[in-house]
Structure 1
């Protein structure tokens, strides 16, 4: 429509980010939305063709994007986490990946008709599943911890190694097709080793510079970005196509240096990665030739995709997990779920370009083949994972796990009460010091920004049905609820009331439901905790009804949640009036006066007279105890007890 490079770049980036938003808003796979957007403006309506408009810039842009994407992915390969892998995970990412490579290469050659050279390159690339695709599916399906962990870590670990394997296959094939001599083979391995060394050295230099404070905060992210590109180009100039190996080695080294400052550039890195993935994906699909698009429905390609779905993936999983503790239901689910994602298509587009430049004409089908596999796996696996997981009894839908965002003293006390009910609980905060109370109580906790995409790579949120945003920043709480609404559903998202000093009308974000009855801010809840209020559980029985409890309760108490007889939790809100039946328990934040009253009743045996004056009990109660618990003669512990 407009013969302008500037217009094409603007439209590509706009469509990429808009597609990401639409996918988040309507709980759709982002890769599907971006594919549709790229195809509409490209081969279908012919509005843009980035490859023609950009000319010689098209290849370098794709190459730089792939380098950044691989570096970002390799930053997740922390050896400390890999060491903790169970036996099946280790088998899948080694033996299973190798079987998938060989079987996928054979299928590409005999079924899709690709040459051996192109087949082994694409076979190595297609071992990846990718966290950007698998993580949303896991949240959607609510899998049990073990199958969810296996699928998640397989995607994280294998993701950069798929491209790495393709690089090695390409370099090896180039040497095989030329004059094969001992000198050429030694040169190949020496160049690969040197690329790894360059990446390792770059990571060591930039990592130590970060730790020593030699680089100011505002320059850390830009300098890291430049160093990644420099490492890639420098290695690539020494020997063509070894740049990807260098940046992957750099990312892995930095991931294992235990850098305290790595989180400082995490947001920038995520933003760049999302921007590049979105833009490059739309750019590749918009540049597809309509003839290649038609090839997606070629019987040979469809047969290849079917073989990858129903033969290669199940075969690699079943063989690699022989002798492990996985049951047949878990092996069946894992053997089916393997969606290919944005990284696979982006990197395949890169290899299609360089293979064509090296005279491999059948590489024209590479993009169509990859696009077909990505599209079919994302759609089929995305719409079947929930159904299959339920049929195989591998879901956690009946649990009431709670993730609490914010490490205040009240949050820790609430989390402890939930833990005592037998439900999963997790406290998350951005600061280590903020979680001191949680650590003191021995509660599961995690330091990180819950809105960061990287947190999803290291934190499994599938066991948690509810999320409570209870930080001291009201807008942040609202953003958390808005961000997780497509995944958890707004009925499972709660936030504390706005602080009294805040102008509620200025907040236009559709956050979560207001917590507790009556609704109260985290500041007020903290003040009550410091004033001696405690979380107390009251059982509802046939003799002591919920109506009687409401009539007799202290007017200062805050209703927190109901623990149902079956162990499930329901939180009180101002707008929804919950009812409790016999066998349920009411958990509430009660005032010291109510606690003292119950102590006096216990001491005087219900006669109304106590040998200890009320004033002495009140003075004793208001003393700050050691260890965070109050020591009152004759009083029951304040913490909630598990329902038997």
Structure 2
């Protein structure tokens, strides 16, 4: 028996990994494959029965996992992102929630014949969105920064609000034995106590945890584990004081930490990201495995009409109402009105309250989970497929991705970035060295501090207008990891790296053909060590425009062996590497090269006389 349980637990992890890998290869949301896998091994084949495997511990485990996911998401929320869009986000979290809740309730009541209590709970649950679905979609579609920031904030903050709303509806349902006035008073009391506790406990715990991290009260090796343990403890304590208040508390706690100066949030996120991937994957499989397929089929086609009303009526109406007296264009409003996929919080909350309502004697509560899961599947599939073409049609996509992501913010990278930015090319630098990051910020260059291949980078590294990567770091392992990572995202022709000298020849038989091609774009002598040495000796990176009077041949003859070719910007603003490529610069091209200073005549005379 114990061995069988071990096999089932291990299988959940293995299946999660397979689903994530398939999603990565097909560039589709992992949630689709996780849900299908859960349904297959659960009600489909009857292999996995989560209630039998975990017993009464299932929903506490689900609650803790959702808390970790929301806490991680809230750590990425910076108030500076709301300077232009705070009003829109606030309205979406207020009037938008009310509109979606009302329309979802009415549609499910009359189209799938749910009772008013269950329909009201369904309407409350589907107000949520979710960072687990929104962030991958935004990375794929690349809408403008205004849309991205609005959807990012809404996707994270609306989750605890939706969960709180579901709690209030549930409390009203279970207190229906009281008089209406007493039941309403009970709901108001629950709302007030949850809100007050969430704000007070979330802010205070965030402040003290931030002080502990900033003052290094914990050794480095305990900071990540200590943060996770403290957060889970606060979540449990908040739930103990006020039922289901923990999600709001940990979300506010994370936002406080994210905006507190001097707190090493990046280090915490690097630890949380792997944990979140595992938790999200396992949760979707477990919750999908509990679904009653007979209830799903009994809902019929009317369930799809409910989903279409949510997508085509509730969402657009909530967005356009929220956007009153904002400066959003009609194109931006239209796109925002289309994108609202549901994620893990909707799945978890529906499973939890359906279970409790069934215990309380509401027979139709079993339809709640399949209804919510249908909303998740349909919204994710349709919006993943259509969002990119719609963004292009509405012209709310960021401009062409001719920009560059530099792996490295050292002196060579900074000088090259200045030259490119000066010619209108988007450049973003990344580095794990704080000294390099600080120097880049002093030069007013956009720079990301952290590991460029981490999930935190995927969620927070803004690659708007960026379609190329250049590995220009002294750390060969980081260059290699970054190259393989961005090859999958950008393609072979868009990922570049400096040659590595003799190692290129020695290791070429050990590397893939795609990797070798990334190192064959520049001159063999243009290694990082060579460029760094030349820069330290006074060489500068300059841009020169070719013309009929000053041709490419004139350019080469003028600078001679003092010249190291790097890039050229064509008249169509495309940036191409120079060296071992077939590019033939002509009139109108702008050359970007490293040029050594001219020899000092006096120094040459002295050396010859000696």
Q: TM-score, normalised by structure 1?
A: 0.84
5+ residue gaps, structure 1, are 597-612, 620-644
Aligned: 1:558 with 2:564? yes
Offset of residue 561 of structure 1: 1.4
TM-aligned CA deviation for residue 527 of structure 1? 1.0
Describe how 1:541-620 pairs up with structure 2 within 5 A.
541-546=547-552, 549=555, 554-555=560-561, 557-572=563-578, 574=580, 576-593=581-598, 614-615=601-602
Among candidates 332, 338, 343, match of residue 341 of structure 1: 343
Aligned 8 A contact 1:554 1:590 in 2: no
Where do residues 136-155 of structure 1 align in structure 2 (5 Å cutoff)?
136-155=136-155
Give 1:399 deviation, angstroms: 4.7
Distance 1:186 1:394 in 2: 41
Q: Secondary structure at the match of 1:4?
A: helix
Residue of structure 1 in register with 2:330 after alignment = 328
Q: How far, CA to CA, are the matches of 1:540 and 1:54 in structure 2?
A: 71
Taking a change above 3 Å as real, the CA distance of residues 537 and 618 of structure 1, as seen in their structure-2 partners, is farther
Shift of 1:312: 0.8
Structure 1 residue 188: Cα displacement: 2.6
Partner of 1:279: 282
- 1:514 aligned to 2:519? yes
Q: Which residue of 2 aligns with 1:161?
A: 161
* Aligned residue runs from structure 1 range 444-483, under 5 A: 444-483=446-485
Deviation at residue 438 of structure 1 after TM alignment: 2.1
- Structure 2 residue ranges without an equivalent (≥5): none
Q: Residue deviations 1:234-254, cap 9 Å, x none?
A: 333344333334333433443
Q: Displacement, 1:46? A: 3.0
Q: 2:269 maps to which residue?
A: 266
Q: Secondary structure at the match of 2:325?
A: coil
> In structure 2, do the counterparts of structure 1 residues 436 and 65 end up closer, same or farther at CA, with 3 Å as the change threshold?
closer
C-alpha distance in structure 1 between counterparts of 2:359 and 2:227, whole Å: 31
Aligned residue number for residue 375 of structure 1: 377
Displacement of 1:199 in angstroms is 4.0
Deviation at 1:218, TM superposition (A): 1.7
Is the contact between residue 498 and residue 522 of structure 2 (CA under 8 Å) also seen in structure 1? no
Larger CA deviation: 123-132 vs 30-39: 123-132
Q: 1:516 to 1:362 in 2, by over 3 A?
A: same
| 1:537 maps to which of 543, 558, 565 | 543
For residues 187 and 164 of structure 1, what CA distance do their matches in structure 2 show? 13
**Closer/same/farther in 2, CA of residues 210 and 9 from structure 1, 3 Å limit:** same
> Which whole-Å CA distance do the structure 2 matches of 1:271 and 1:569 have between them?
35
Q: Is the 8 A contact 2:81 2:149 kept in 1?
A: no
Do structure 1's residue 20 and structure 2's residue 7 form an aligned pair? no
For the structure 1 residues 72 and 141, does the alpha-carbon distance in structure 2 shift closer, same or farther, using more than 3 Å as the test? closer
Per the alignment, do residues 435 and 352 of structure 1 end up closer, same or farther by CA in structure 2, a change over 3 Å counting? same
- Partner residue, 1:351: 353
Report the 3-state secondary structure (helix = DSSP H, G, I; strand = E; otherwise coil) of the residue aligned with 2:143: coil
Question: How far 1:513 moved relative to its partner?
Answer: 1.6
Q: For the structure 1 residues 450 and 360, does the alpha-carbon distance in structure 2 shift closer, same or farther, using more than 3 Å as the test?
A: farther
2:396 aligns with 394
Closer/same/farther in 2, CA of residues 249 and 122 from structure 1, 3 Å limit? farther
Is the 8 Å Cα contact of residues 129 and 154 (structure 1) preserved in structure 2?
A: yes
Q: What do residues 39-82 of structure 1 show as CA deviations (whole Å, max 9, x unaligned)?
A: 33223333323333333332232222222223323333444443
Q: Aligned to 1:554, what secondary structure does the other structure show? A: helix
Deviation string, structure 1 residues 417-467 (Cα, Å, up to 9, x no partner)? 111111222222233311243233322223233233234444421221222
Q: Which has the higher helix share?
A: 2
CA distance in 1, matches of 2:259, 2:177: 37
Answer whether contact 1:70 1:244 (CA < 8 A) is retained: yes
Instruction: Work out whether residues 342 and 380 of structure 2, in 8 Å CA contact, stay in contact via their aligned partners in 1.
Output: yes
Residue deviations 1:487-520 (CA, integer Å, cap 9, x gap) = 3333222233337679746975865822752153
Moved more, 140-149 or 326-335: 140-149
Q: Distance in 2 between matches of 1:367 and 1:183?
A: 29
Aligned-partner SS, 2:464? coil
| Structure 1 Cα separation of the partners of residues 290 and 189 of structure 2 | 36
C-alpha separation in 2, matches of 1:618 and 1:24: 63
Structure 2 residue aligned with 1:229: 232
> Would the aligned equivalents of 2:72 and 2:269 in 1 still touch at CA under 8 Å?
no
Per-residue CA deviations over 1:265-320 (Å, capped at 9, x if unaligned) read: 22222222111111111111223233134346x22211111111111111111222
Deviates more, 1:375-384 or 1:541-550: 541-550
Give how far 1:530 is off.
0.8
Question: How far, CA to CA, are the matches of 1:128 and 1:492 in structure 2?
Answer: 37
Contact 2:168 2:187 in 1 (8 A): no
Identify the residue that residue 310 of structure 2 maps to in structure 1: 308
Residues 1:393 and 1:305: Cα distance change in structure 2 (over 3 Å): same
1:209 maps to which of 212, 220, 228: 212
Distance in 1 separating the partners of 2:320 and 2:410: 46
What SS class does the counterpart of residue 474 from structure 2 fall into?
coil
Of 14-23 and 509-518, the range deviating more from structure 2: 509-518
Question: 2 CA distance for matches of 1:88 and 1:571?
Answer: 43
* Distance change (3 Å), C-alpha of 1:508 and 1:216: farther
Q: Distance in 2 between matches of 1:544 and 1:34?
A: 60
SS of residue matched to 1:588: strand
**Distance change >3 Å, CA 133–CA 261, structure 1 → 2:** same
Relative to structure 1, is the Cα distance of residues 468 and 87 closer, same or farther in structure 2, using a 3 angstrom cutoff? farther
Cα drift, residue 416 of structure 1 = 0.6
Stretch deviating more after TM superposition (9-18 or 191-200): 191-200
Task: Please give the alpha-carbon distance, in whole angstroms, between the structure 2 residues aligned to 1:400 and 1:90.
Answer: 34
8 A contact 2:213–2:223 mirrored in 1 = yes
Partners in 1 of 2:325 and 2:530 — Cα distance? 55
Alpha-carbon distance between aligned partners in 2 of 1:183 and 1:321, rounded to the nearest angstrom: 33
Partner-residue secondary structure (3-state), 1:559: strand
Contact kept, 8 Å, 2:296 with 2:367, in 1: the verdict is no
C-alpha distance 542-187 of structure 1, shift in aligned 2 (>3 A): closer
Distance 2:335 2:41 in 1: 37
